[in-house]
Amino acid sequence: MIRKHADSIGHAMNGLLWALRTQHNYRIHLFLIALSVLAGFVFQIRYNEWLIILALAMMGLIIETINTAIEKVGDAIDLNYNEHIKIAKDVSAAAMLIYSCGAAVGASMIFIPKIVNLIAELLK
């Protein structure tokens, strides 16, 4: 049983490393996560704000992973134009777009007031 779990973890790590090496959007997500973490330290965000940032970061990576998997399955089924595969890819990309907009709003609600306060302090 432990061997099966170890194999599963190995396969998952292979998938993660492949995504990091080949998927530009993954690297964008990681950059934005790093930026959010840095901003969190700079602005000394509260515990509950850290939880929100962590949840937003993880959900973004999860949705991007699923989106990438759907795209790759579609490519494996048929590299020629296929309306059904196009719709599946477009809908999974739409899920990421919807999520990204919501995450941007959530992060903005945490960081914009802190940025405004910092600017106000600097202008005094």
Angstrom distance (rounded) from CA 67 to CA 95: 8
The predicted structure's pLDDT at residue 111:
98
> Which parts of the chain sit beneath pLDDT 70?
none
| Domain range summary for the chain, segments of one domain joined by + | 2-123
Which pLDDT score is estimated for 89?
Answer: 97
Q: Against a cut of 0.85, is the pTM above it?
A: yes
| Class of domain 2-123 as given by CATH | mainly alpha
Residue 60 CB burial class (10 angstroms; 0-12, 13-18, ≥19): buried
Structure tokens at 44: 């000394």
Instruction: Say if CB 64 and CB 29 are below 8 A apart.
Output: yes
CB 110 within 8 A of CB 50: no
- H or E element in which residue 50 lies: helix 47-77
The confidence score (pLDDT) of residue 110 equals 97
Selection from 9, 31, 28 nearest residue 96 by Cα: 28
What proportions of the chain, in percent to the nearest 5, are helix, strand and coil? 90, 0, 10
